[in-house]
C-alpha cells in the first residue's frame, strides 16, 4: 500500500476518493462489512508500514526535544570569548552597521555586552565547546551535530514556535509531525503516529502556554495531528473499559460503530467521519498499548538512573525523555517533547540553572540510551528552541541576580544527533559576539528541508492541496544543508 | 509542485480576490491592502519606533504618495512606470528588489499584477474594510431573504448551485442544538413535523427562542470569551463566587437584553446613574480575570496584569483586535500605537484593586445574598451575641474584682480575662482554658458553646456570595505608557482615550468606562456589530463569516461573503441591538436550512471549508453539548437553573495531582450530577476533564477548537457520565415501549429526531443478540455495568436485558451522527 501522500499526490483529496480508498482497502483485506476491523481500518489512517519515501531514508523516527522560550545560545553552546572580554562595554559600533537587531530591543546602541554566566570547556575528540551548565551533554558532545548559524523570522514566542514547527508564523499550517504522519505513516498501529508530551520545570515563573497548534494538523485531515499525552500517572484518561464491558464486547460495539458510521459517510460524504472511525479504532488499540508503554517495571535500574532523579515523576522532562525512547522503540515515528521556561529576560543566574538541571541529564541519557540499543542510527534527535537570546544584557549589570537577555532571532544554536547527521561536528557560525549568523547561515526552512531529507522526503514534493494551492512545510523556500548529512 | 504562477493564480482566485478577476478594477481595501499589510508593513507600516525603513509608510496615503526629496514618488497615481513601488517590485536586481529576499515575503506574480493594475487605475486609497463604517448592502427587492440573496449572488458568480434544504427531521434537531444546546424533545419534533401550514418553521424558531435553555446555551460561549471560572488560577487557585454573574448572563440572554445595554452594563454598569444591583453585578465581567495570589509577587505587577487583561478582553470581544501586540510596541499591522493601547488601559486602571493578597473576594465586591442566607447570618450573629453576653456575665460572677479566685490567676491569664471575648487571641484562650476551665466546669461549657457559635457565625458570613465587581477610585490613578509592558518602567503619562483610526468618544463626556462602553455601541462604530454578528454566525455555522473571530485587523482573512457580514451588522444595530431578532433572522434563512451533505466533489474541492456557504454546516458538537445531549435524551438531565457550581464525574486524583494535593475533589451527589454542563465547577488550572476542545478559561477565547483524536473517543466510550446516560436511556426505552421495533424508533427519536432505517436496525438487532449472549453467560458483568453512576435503577427491569440495551445505547451515544450536528 502506498502512503496517503502518494495516493493523493497527483489528485486532490476528496471525500469520494477517500470513500473509494476505503472500499478498496476493505476489499483488499478481504473483510466483509461486519468484520471491518483493525486491519482494514488502519488503512484509513494512512499509516501503513513499508511506505516508500522519495529516496532512501537515513532516519525513520524523530524525537524533537523542543525547548520553548528561546534558550540562550551564548550561555550554553555558542562559545564567544569576546563577550567576556567586552563584558560591561557598549555594543561595538562595527556590529551595528548595516545589521538588523531585534525590534523588541529597539535601538541596540549603548546596550552593554554580557559575558556567559558560566565558563565553557571543550569536550571529546571533537573539541566541542559546551557550558558548564550542561555537563552531561558535554560528555556526549562527540555524538552531537551543532548548528550554530540558525536564524528565524519571528521574534515572539508563539509565532516563532509555530514557524519552527509548521513553517508559518500564524497558526493553521500542519506541524512537522503532522506532515510526517501524513507522508510516511507509522509502522505502529496501536499508538498514535505523532505523540506530544510537555513539561515545565517546577518553581519557575514561566507562564508560557502550550498551544494546541504546536502539534496541529492545520488543513491536513485532523487524524494527522499530534496526540498529547498528559503529564501524570495516567497519560490518557478514560483508557479502561467500563466495568462489565469485556474486551470482546467492546470489539463488537466498535465493529457496529464503524459499520454505522460508514453508512453515514456514504450518505453525507463528510471526510471527518472517516477520521472519526479511525480514531475510535486507534482508541481501542491504545487501551492495551498505553498501559504497556508506561509500565516502567521492565526498565533496569541503571537505565532509570541515567535519566536522573526525576525520571519516575510523570510530567517531568526526564520522564518524557524516557517515554520518548519507549515510544520510538515501539515504532512511533514522531515524538515531540516540549519543555517550557527558557525565557530568561531576568533570570539568567537563577531559573536558567533550573532549566539546565532538569534537561541536561535526561537529554544526554536519551542519546546514550538510544545508542546502546542501536536505535540512534535511525532516530533523529533534535534539541532546540524558537530563537536565541541577545548577546547584550537585559537588565542592570550591577544587579547580577536579575541578569537577563532578550529574544534574538538572528543567530541561535540547535543540535541534532543520530538519524544520518554527522556526529561530532559544528556547522556554521555566528559572528564573534553571537549576534548574526555569518558563516553558512541556516534558515528555519533550510533546517526543515534537511529534516525531511533525512527522513527520505523531498521537501518540495511532500505537498497537500488546499484551497486551490499546493502547500508544503517549507512554503516556497528551503535548501537541504547537505554538509550536515553523514 | 505545479508551476508557481498557476498556484498563485489559483490561490488568488479562490480566496481574497475572486472578485478582482481580470477586467474589474482591483479594490484597495479588498485586494491591495492585505498585500501591503502582509508584505510591507513590517518595515513600512504603522510602527514608528521599531524598525521603520527608508522613511516610508505604506499604511498612510499622504506619506506613500508624497513627492520625495529627489523628485520621485513611491506611488505615482496612474503610472506604474513613475512609481518607485513598481520599480522595486519588478526589478531583478537583488539589491533593489522589495521585499528583501531575506525576509521571505516575496509577492506572487498575481499579487504584483494586482498592484500594477491598481497603480494604473489611479491608486485609489481606502480603509481596511473592518474600519470602514457599516453600511447596509443592497439585498434585493425583499421577495427573498436578504441573507440568501447576498449568499447566492456570490454563489451564482462562482457558478455554484447551493444544496437543497435539509429534511425537516434534520432541521428540528439542528435548530434545537444550535439554540438550546439540547436535542428536541419527542413532543417538539412531533409538533413541528405535524405542522404543515406556512410559517411552521418560524413558529418552531419562536417556540425554541422562548425556552429557558436558550440563555444557557448562549451563555457558554460568552463565558469562554469572558474567561469565566470558579477559581482564581495560578498556584493556590482559590475558589471564587462569580456564579451570580453567570446566572445574570443566562437571564440577560433569555430576557433579550439589547446587546448595547448588555455591553454597557457589563463594562460600566456601576457608572450608570442610580445603577441597579443587576447593573453593578454585570460588571463582574471585567473581574473574571485570573488572580495571582503567589506570595512574593509584587502587588503592582499583579494589578497591571489585571488591567491589561481587562483591556485586552474588551479588545477581543468588542473590537476584534489583538491589542496585546501593543503592550511593547506599536502594532505591526493595525493602526494602533503603543500609546493608544495604554490610553485604553487608562479606562480600566481606576479600580481600588491593589493587586495584593489574591483574595477571590477582593473588593469592590457585591454581596449576592438571599433572604435565607441573610436570615441565617442574622440568626447566627444574634446567637453569638447572646452566648458572648452569657460568657461575660459568668466570668464577672465567678471572678469578681478583688476576690481570691481572681488573685489565683497568673499574670497572662489576668490580662486575657480583662479583654472582651471577641478580642482574645489564640494564646489567651489556651491560657484561660487551663486556669479557668479547670477551676470552673461551667466556664468550660459556655466557652465551648461560644467557640462553636463564633464558627457558625463566620460560616454564615462566608457562605454569602460576594461577587467581584467594578468601581472607580474617587481620585483617578495616573496611567503611563509602560516600556515593554513592564509595570516598573513607566514612561509618558497618558489619558484615557480611543485610537485615532476609530470614531472619537462622544463630545463632552468624561472619558471613563461608561463613555468607552457607549462608544463601542455607537451606530458609526465599525467593529462592535461586525465582531458580534460574526461570533453568533460562528456558533451556528462552525466558522465565522470572518474566520478569525478574534482578529478583524489587517492580518485577518478578508471575509468571502463580506456583504452578509455588513448586512447583519447593520440589521443588529438598526433593530436596537436585538440579539434574539438577529438569531431569528439568521436561522430563518434558507442558507441556514440547507442540507449539509457533500454532494459535489468539485464544489468540495473548490471550497473545502464551505466558506461560500453552498451547503449547511456539519460539525462535531462542542463537548459540553455532547454531554448535555446525552443527559437530555436519557432523561437524566435535571433542569435546575443557576446557583453554585457542582462537581460532576471525574477520574480520581486529577485535581490532587495538579495541585500537589492541595485541592481535593469531592463529587457532588444526587441531582447535582445531572445538571447542565454550564453549572460544572471550572477549576482554572485543571478544567473538567470530560470537556475536550474547550476554551482554557484563562484568558479571553472566542474561537472554538475542533479536533478529532482518540482521546475524545475514549471519553465518550468510557467515562461514567456516558455509561450512566446509556443505562438511563436504555431504562427509559425499555419502560416506555413493549417491542424492540418500537424501542428502536424511540431511541432514534430521542437522539436524532428521526425515524429508523431497516439497514441500521438490523445492525442494532445484531448488537443486542451479541451482547445478549455475553451477558447470559455472565450475570456479574451485567450487574457491574448497571452499577455505574449514582442514579437509581428500576429494579423491576431484568438486569440482563437492561445491560444488553445499555451497551446498544452506549454505541448509539458514540455514533458520529450523535456527536455531530448535521
- Within-domain flag for A50: no
A60 assigned to some structural domain: yes
3-state class (DSSP) for residue B365: strand
Residue B763 is nearest to which of A100, A260, A276, comparing CB atoms? A260
**Which chain A residue's Cα is nearest to B618?**
A270
Does residue A204 lie in a domain region?
yes
Three-point CA angle B740, B741, B743, nearest 5°: 60
A33 touches chain B (CB under 8 A): no
What residues 95-124 of chain A have any CB closer than 8 A to a CB of chain B?
Answer: 100, 103-104, 106
| A173 strand-pairing partners | A171
Residues B449 and B482 in one domain: no
The pTM of the whole model exceeds 0.80: no
Which of A97-106, A368-377, B229-238 is predicted least confidently? A97-106
Q: In a mutagenesis test of the B interface, which of A238, A265, A280 is the best target, namely the one with the most B β-carbons within 10 Å?
A: A238
pLDDT at A468: 54
Q: What is the CA radius of gyration of chain B?
A: 32
Strands B820-821 and B619-620: antiparallel
B601 domain-assigned:
no
Q: What is the pLDDT of residue B11?
A: 34
Q: Do both B376 and B438 map to the same domain?
A: yes
Written in H, E and C, the secondary structure of chain A is CCCHHHHHHCCCCCHHHHHHHHHHHHHHCCCCHHHCCHHHHHHHCCCCCCCCCCCCCCCCEEEEEEECCCCCHHHHCCCCHHHHHCCCCECCHHHCCCCCCCCCCCCCCCCEECCCCCCEEEECCCCEEEECCCHHHHHCHHHEEEEEEEECCCCCHHHHHHHHHHCCCCECECCHHHHHHHHHCCCCCCCCCEEEEEEECCCCCCCCCCCHHHHCCCCCCHHHCCEECCCCCCCCCCCCCCCCCCHHHHHHHHHHHHHHHHHHHHHHCCHHHHHHHHHHHHHHHHHHHHHHHHCHHHCCHHHHHHHCHHHHCCCCHHHHHHHHHHHHHCCCCEEEEEEECCCCCCCCCCHHHHHHHHHHHHHHHHHHHHHHCCCHHHEEEEEECCCEECCECECCCCCHHHCECCEECCCEEEEEECCCECCCEEECEECCCCCCEEECCEEHHHHHHHHHHHCCCCCCCCCEEECCEEECCCCCCCCCCHHHEC
Pair B528, B446 in one domain: no
Residue B285 in domain? yes
Chain-chain contact of B711 with A236 (C-beta, under 8 angstroms): yes
Range of the domain at B746: 718-821
Instruction: Specify if A49 maps to a domain.
Output: no
| Contact criterion met (CB below 8 Å) for A226 and A192 | yes
Between strands B490-494 and B466-468, the pairing is unpaired
Hey, are the CB atoms on A468 and B50 less than 8 Å from each other? no
Nearest-CA distance B711 → chain A (Å)? 7
Q: Do residues B195 and B213 make contact, with C-beta atoms less than 8 angstroms apart?
A: no
What does each C-alpha distance from A231 to A318, B109, B476, B734 come to in angstroms?
Answer: 11, 48, 46, 42
Could you count the other beta carbons within 10 Å of the beta carbon of residue A330?
14
The SS3 assignment for B63 reads: helix
Residue B623 located in a structural domain: no
Instruction: Classify residue A468: in a domain, yes or no.
Output: yes
Distance from CA of B103 to the nearest CA of A (A): 7
Any bridge partners for residue A381, and if so which?
A63, A417
Residue B822: what pLDDT? 94
Q: Is residue B650 part of a domain?
A: no
In this prediction, residue A17 has a pLDDT band, given cuts at 50, 70 and 90, of: very low
Question: How many C-beta neighbours within 10 Å does residue B23 have?
Answer: 5
Residue A467 has its nearest CB partner, among B15, B653, B714, at B15
Domain end point (choices B77, B108, B126)? B126
pLDDT value, residue A13: 39
CA distance B471 to B287: 11
Is residue B83 within 8 A of residue B116, CB to CB? The reply is no
d(CA A46, CA B706): 21
Q: Name every chain A residue with its beta carbon within 8 A of the beta carbon of B10.
A: 468-469
A268 lies within 8 A of chain B by CB: yes
| Below-50 pLDDT ranges, chain B | 1-22
The three-state DSSP-derived secondary structure of B373-437 is: HHHHHHHHHHHHHHHHHHHHHHHHHHCCCCCHHHHCCCHHHHHHHHCCHHHCCHHHHHHHHHHHH
Q: Are B535 and B528 in contact (CB under 8 A)?
A: no
Distance CA B33, CA B537 (A): 26
* Euclidean distance between CA atoms A259 and A268, whole angstroms: 14
Question: Is the four-CA dihedral A469, A475, A479, A481 of positive or negative sign?
Answer: negative
Q: Final residue of a domain: which of B433, B464, B495?
A: B464
Q: What is the pLDDT of residues B5-33, one digit of tens each?
A: 333 333 333 333 333 444 567 888 878 88
**Which tens digit of pLDDT belongs to each residue from A196-208?**
999 988 766 655 6
- What are phi and psi for residue B204, nearest 5 degrees? -60, -45
* Model pLDDT, residue B24: 61
pLDDT at A40 over 70: no
Q: Which residue of B has its CA nearest to A18?
A: B601
- One domain, residues B218 and B347: yes
pLDDT value, residue B9: 32
In this structure, the number of other CB atoms found within 10 A of the CB of residue B238 comes to 16
Euclidean distance between the first and the last CA atom of chain A, given in angstroms as a whole number: 30
Report yes or no on B680 lying in a domain.
no
Cell readout for A308 is 536522573
CATH code, domain carrying A109? 3.40.720.10
**B774 and A237: CB-CB below 8 Å?**
no
Counted domains in chain A: 1
Q: Do B815 and A264 touch (CB under 8 A)?
A: yes
- Residue B667 three-state SS: coil
Q: CA-to-CA distance for B645 and B687, rounded, in angstroms? A: 13
Give the A window 393-452 contacts with B, CB below 8 Å: 443, 445
- Alpha-helical runs (H) found in B659-778: 710-718, 720-736, 740-752, 758-777
Whether A237 has its CB under 8 Å from any CB of chain B: the answer is yes
Domain span at residue A81 reads 55-238+302-484
What burial letters (b/e) apply to B778-803, b meaning 16+ CB within 10 Å? beebbbebbebbebebeeebebbbbb
Chain B interface mutation, best of A205, A260, A289, A313, highest count of B Cβ atoms under 10 Å: A260
**Residue A219 CB neighbours (<10 A):** 17
Residues B286 and B242 in one domain: yes
Q: Is residue A283 part of a domain?
A: no
**Same-domain check for residues B758 and B805:** yes
Tell me how far apart the alpha carbons of residues B292 and B302 are, in angstroms, rounded to a whole number: 7
- Model confidence pLDDT, tens digit, residues A458-470: 898 888 876 556 7
Q: A262, A21, A26: which is closest to B817 by C-alpha?
A: A262
Q: How confident is the model at residue A1 (pLDDT cuts 50, 70, 90)?
A: very low
Query: Quick one: which H or E segment has residue B820?
Result: strand B820-821
Residue B516 in grid coordinates:
468607552
Q: Quote the radius of gyration of chain A (alpha carbons, Å).
A: 23
Closest by CA position to A256, among listed B630, B301, B768, B473: B768
β-bridge pairing A425-427 and A144-151 = parallel
CB contacts, 8 Å: A239 with chain B: 714, 718
Q: CA-to-CA distance for B455 and B751, rounded, in angstroms?
A: 50
Contact present, A413 and A59 (Cβ < 8 Å): no
Cβ–Cβ gap B710/A192 under 8 Å:
yes
In the block, residue with C-alpha cell 546602541 = A109
Domain count, chain B: 4
Residue A478 within a domain: yes
H or E stretch at B366:
strand B365-367
Q: Looking at B554, B579, B604, which one is the last position of a domain?
A: B579
State the virtual CA torsion across A86, A88, A89, A94 in degrees, nearest 10: 60
Q: How far is the C-alpha of A473 from the C-alpha of A459, rounded, in Å?
A: 7
| Biggest alpha carbon–alpha carbon distance for chain B | 113
**Phi/psi at A192 (5° precision):** -60, 150
Q: What angle do CA B82, B85, B88 make, to 5 degrees?
A: 105
Note the pLDDT of residue B445: 92
Q: How far is B156 from chain A (nearest CA, A)?
A: 19
**Contact B805/B730 with Cβ under 8 angstroms?**
yes
**Cβ-Cβ contacts under 8 Å, B688 against chain A:** none
pLDDT for residue B814: 98
Residue A228's pLDDT band (cuts 50, 70, 90): confident
Q: Does the residue A222 lie in any domain?
A: yes
Instruction: Please report the DSSP string for B748-771 in residue order.
Output: HHHHHSS---HHHHHHHHHHHHHH
Reported ipTM = 0.84
The CA-to-CA distance between both ends of chain B, in Å, stands at 36
| Nearest Cα to Cα of residue B83 among B96, B70, B71, B74 | B74
The partner residue sitting opposite A283, judged by closest CB among B51, B104, B717, is: B717
Which pLDDT does position A209 carry in this prediction?
65
3-state class (DSSP) for residue B615: coil
Using DSSP's 3-state secondary structure scheme, residue B2 falls into: coil
User: Which residue of B604, B706, B719 is in closest CB contact with A15?
Assistant: B604
| Closest CA relative to residue A424, chosen from A363, A360, A358, A367 | A367
Amino acid at each position: 500500500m502506498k502512503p496517503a501522500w502518494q495516493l493523493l499526490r497527483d489528485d486532490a483529496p476528496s471525500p469520494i476518493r477517500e470513500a473509494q480508498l476505503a472500499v478498496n482497502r476493505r476489499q483488499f483485506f478481504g473483510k466483509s462489512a461486519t468484520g471491518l476491523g483493525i486491519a482494514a481500518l488502519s488503512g484509513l489512517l494512512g499509516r501503513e508500514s513499508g511506505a516508500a519515501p522519495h529516496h532512501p531514508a537515513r532516519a525513520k523516527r524523530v524525537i524533537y526535544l523542543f525547548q520553548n522560550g528561546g534558550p540562550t545560545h551564548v550561555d550554553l553552546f555558542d562559545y564567544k570569548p569576546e563577550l567576556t572580554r567586552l563584558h560591561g562595554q557598549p555594543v561595538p559600533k562595527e556590529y551595528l552597521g548595516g545589521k538588523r537587531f531585534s525590534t523588541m530591543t529597539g535601538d541596540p546602541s549603548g546596550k552593554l555586552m554580557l559575558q556567559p554566566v558560566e565558563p565553557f570547556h571543550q569536550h571529546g575528540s571533537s573539541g566541542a565547546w559546551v557550558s558548564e551548565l550542561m555537563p552531561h551533554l558535554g560528555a556526549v558532545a562527540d555524538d552531537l551535530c551543532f548548528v550554530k548559524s540558525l536564524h528565524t523570522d519571528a521574534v515572539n514566542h508563539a509565532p516563532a514556535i509555530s514557524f519552527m514547527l509548521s513553517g508559518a508564523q500564524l497558526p493553521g499550517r500542519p506541524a512537522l509531525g503532522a506532515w510526517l504522519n501524513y507522508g510516511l505513516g507509522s509502522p505502529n498501529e496501536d499508538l498514535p503516529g505523532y505523540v506530544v508530551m510537555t513539561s515545565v520545570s517546577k518553581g519557575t515563573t514561566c507562564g508560557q502556554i502550550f498551544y494546541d497548534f504546536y502539534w496541529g494538523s492545520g488543513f491536513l485531515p485532523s487524524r494527522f495531528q499530534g496526540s498529547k499525552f498528559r503529564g501524570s500517572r495516567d497519560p490518557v484518561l478514560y483508557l479502561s473499559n467500563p466495568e462489565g464491558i469485556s474486551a470482546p464486547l467492546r470489539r463488537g460495539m466498535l465493529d457496529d460503530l464503524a459499520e454505522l458510521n460508514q453508512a453515514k459517510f456514504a450518505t453525507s460524504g463528510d471526510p471527518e467521519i472517516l477520521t472519526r472511525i479511525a480514531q475510535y479504532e486507534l482508541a481501542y488499540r491504545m487501551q492495551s498499548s498505553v498501559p504497556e508503554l508506561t509500565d516502567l517495571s521492565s526498565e533496569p535500574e541503571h537505565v532509570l538512573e541515567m535519566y536522573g532523579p526525576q525520571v519516575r515523576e510523570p510530567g517531568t522532562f526526564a520522564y518524557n525523555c524516557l517515554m520518548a525512547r519507549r515510544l520510538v522503540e515501539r515504532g512511533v515515528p514522531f515524538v515531540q517533547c516540549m519543555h517550557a521556561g527558557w525565557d530568561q529576560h531576568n533570570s539568567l543566574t537563577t531559573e536558567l540553572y533550573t532549566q539546565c538541571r532538569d534537561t541536561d541529564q535526561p537529554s544526554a541519557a536519551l542519546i546514550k540510551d538510544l545508542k546502546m540499543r542501536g536505535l540512534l542510527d535511525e532516530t533523529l534527535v533534535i534539541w532546540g528552541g524558537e530563537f536565541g537570546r541577545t548577546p547584550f544584557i537585559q537588565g542592570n549589570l550591577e544587579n547580577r541576580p536579575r541578569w537577563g537577555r532578550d529574544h534574538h532571532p538572528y543567530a541561535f544554536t540547535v543540535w541534532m544527533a543520530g538519524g544520518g547527521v554527522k556526529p561530532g561536528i559544528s556547522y556554521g557560525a555566528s559572528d564573534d559576539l553571537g549576534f548574526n549568523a555569518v558563516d553558512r547561515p541556516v534558515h528555519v526552512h533550510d533546517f526543515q528541508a534537511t529534516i525531511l531529507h533525512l527522513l527520505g522526503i523531498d521537501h518540495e514534493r511532500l505537498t497537500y492541496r488546499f484551497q486551490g494551492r499546493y502547500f508544503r512545510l517549507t512554503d516556497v523556500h528551503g535548501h537541504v544543508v547537505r554538509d550536515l548529512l553523514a | 509542485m505545479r508551476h508557481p504562477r498557476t498556484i498563485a493564480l489559483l490561490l488568488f482566485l479562490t480566496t481574497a480576490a475572486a472578485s478582482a478577476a481580470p477586467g474589474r478594477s482591483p479594490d484597495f481595501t479588498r485586494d491591495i491592502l492585505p498585500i501591503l499589510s502582509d508584505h510591507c508593513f513590517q518595515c513600512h507600516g504603522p510602527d514608528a519606533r521599531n524598525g521603520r525603513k527608508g522613511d516610508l509608510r505604506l499604511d498612510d496615503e499622504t506619506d506613500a504618495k508624497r513627492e520625495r526629496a529627489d523628485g520621485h514618488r513611491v506611488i505615482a497615481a496612474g503610472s506604474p512606470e513613475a512609481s518607485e513601488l513598481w520599480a522595486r517590485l519588478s526589478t531583478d536586481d537583488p539589491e533593489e528588489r522589495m521585499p528583501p529576499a531575506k525576509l521571505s515575503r516575496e509577492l506572487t506574480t498575481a499579487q504584483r499584477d494586482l498592484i500594477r493594475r491598481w497603480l494604473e487605475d489611479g491608486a485609489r486609497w481606502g480603509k481596511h474594510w473592518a474600519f470602514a463604517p457599516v453600511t447596509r448592502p443592497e439585498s434585493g427587492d425583499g421577495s427573498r431573504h436578504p441573507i440568501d440573496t447576498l449568499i447566492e449572488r456570490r454563489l451564482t458568480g462562482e457558478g455554484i448551485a447551493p444544496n437543497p434544504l435539509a429534511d425537516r427531521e434534520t432541521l428540528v434537531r439542528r435548530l434545537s442544538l444550535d439554540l438550546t444546546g439540547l436535542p428536541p424533545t419527542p413532543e417538539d419534533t412531533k409538533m413541528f413535523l405535524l405542522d404543515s401550514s406556512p410559517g411552521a418553521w418560524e413558529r418552531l424558531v419562536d417556540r425554541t427562542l422562548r425556552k429557558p435553555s436558550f440563555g444557557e446555551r448562549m451563555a457558554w460561549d460568552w463565558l469562554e470569551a469572558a474567561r469565566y471560572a470558579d477559581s482564581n488560577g495560578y498556584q493556590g487557585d482559590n475558589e471564587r463566587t462569580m456564579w451570580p454573574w453567570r446566572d445574570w448572563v443566562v437571564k440577560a440572554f433569555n430576557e433579550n437584553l439589547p446587546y448595547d445595554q448588555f455591553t454597557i452594563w457589563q463594562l460600566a454598569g456601576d457608572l450608570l446613574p442610580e445603577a441597579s444591583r443587576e447593573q453593578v453585578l454585570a460588571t463582574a465581567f471585567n473581574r473574571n480575570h485570573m488572580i495571582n495570589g503567589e506570595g512574593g509577587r509584587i502587588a503592582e505587577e499583579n494589578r497591571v496584569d489585571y488591567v491589561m487583561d481587562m483591556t485586552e478582553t474588551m479588545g477581543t470581544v468588542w473590537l476584534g483586535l489583538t491589542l496585546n501586540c501593543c503592550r511593547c510596541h506599536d502594532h505591526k499591522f493595525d493602526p494602533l500605537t503603543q500609546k493608544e493601547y495604554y490610553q485604553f488601559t487608562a479606562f480600566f486602571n481606576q479600580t481600588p484593586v491593589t493587586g495584593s493578597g489574591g483574595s477571590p473576594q477582593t473588593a469592590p465586591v457585591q454581596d449576592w445574598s438571599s433572604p435565607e442566607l441573610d436570615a441565617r447570618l442574622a440568626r447566627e450573629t444574634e446567637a453569638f451575641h447572646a452566648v458572648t453576653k452569657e460568657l461575660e456575665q459568668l466570668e464577672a460572677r465567678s471572678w469578681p474584682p478583688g476576690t481570691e479566685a481572681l488573685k489565683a490567676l497568673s499574670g497572662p491569664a489576668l490580662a486575657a480575662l480583662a479583654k472582651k471575648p471577641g478580642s482574645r487571641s489564640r494564646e489567651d484562650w489556651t491560657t484561660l482554658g487551663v486556669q479557668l476551665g479547670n477551676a470552673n466546669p461551667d466556664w468550660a461549657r459556655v466557652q465551648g458553646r461560644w467557640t462553636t457559635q463564633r464558627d457558625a457565625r463566620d460560616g454564615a458570613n462566608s457562605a454569602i456570595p460576594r461577587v467581584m465587581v467594578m468601581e472607580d477610585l474617587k481620585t483617578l490613578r495616573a496611567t503611563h505608557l509602560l516600556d515593554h509592558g513592564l509595570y516598573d518602567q513607566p514612561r509618558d503619562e497618558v489619558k484615557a482615550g480611543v485610537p485615532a483610526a476609530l470614531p472619537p468618544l462622544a463630545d463632552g463626556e468624561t472619558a471613563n468606562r461608561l463613555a468607552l462602553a457607549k462608544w463601542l455601541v455607537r451606530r458609526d462604530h465599525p467593529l462592535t456589530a461586525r465582531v458580534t454578528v460574526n461570533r453568533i454566525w460562528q456558533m451556528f455555522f462552525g466558522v465565522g463569516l470572518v474566520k478569525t473571530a478574534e482578529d478583524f485587523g489587517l492580518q485577518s482573512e478578508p471575509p468571502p461573503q463580506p456583504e452578509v457580514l455588513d448586512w447583519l451588522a447593520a440589521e443588529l444595530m438598526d433593530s436596537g441591538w436585538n440579539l434574539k431578532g438577529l438569531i431569528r433572522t439568521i436561522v430563518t434563512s434558507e442558507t441556514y436550512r440547507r442540507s449539509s451533505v457533500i454532494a459535489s466533489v468539485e464544489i468540495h474541492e473548490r471550497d473545502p471549508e464551505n466558506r461560500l456557504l453552498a451547503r449547511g454546516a456539519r460539525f462535531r458538537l462542542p463537548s459540553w453539548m455532547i454531554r448535555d445531549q446525552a443527559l437530555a435524551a436519557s432523561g437524566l438531565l435535571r433542569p435546575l437553573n443557576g446557583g453554585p457550581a457542582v462537581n460532576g464525574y471525574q477520574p480520581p486524583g486529577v485535581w490532587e495531582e495538579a495541585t500537589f494535593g492541595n485541592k481535593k475533589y469531592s463529587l457532588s451527589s444526587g441531582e447535582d450530577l445531572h445538571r447542565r454542563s454550564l453549572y460544572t465547577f471550572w477549576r482554572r488550572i485543571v478544567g473538567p476533564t470530560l470537556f475536550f476542545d474547550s476554551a482554557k478559561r484563562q484568558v479571553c477565547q472566542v474561537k472554538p477548537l475542533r479536533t478529532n483524536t482518540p482521546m475524545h473517543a475514549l471519553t465518550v466510550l468510557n467515562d461514567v457520565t456516558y455509561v450512566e446516560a446509556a443505562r438511563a436511556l436504555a431504562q427509559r426505552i425499555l419502560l416506555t415501549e413493549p417491542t424492540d421495533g418500537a424501542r428502536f424508533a424511540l431511541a432514534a427519536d430521542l437522539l436524532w429526531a428521526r425515524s429508523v432505517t431497516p439497514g441500521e436496525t438490523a445492525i442494532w438487532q445484531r448488537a443486542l443478540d451479541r451482547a445478549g449472549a455475553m451477558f447470559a453467560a455472565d450475570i456479574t458483568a451485567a450487574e457491574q455495568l448497571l452499577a455505574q453512576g449514582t442514579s437509581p435503577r428500576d429494579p423491576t427491569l431484568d438486569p440482563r436485558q437492561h445491560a444488553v440495551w445499555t451497551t446498544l445505547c452506549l454505541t448509539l451515544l458514540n455514533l458520529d451522527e450523535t456527536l455531530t450536528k448535521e
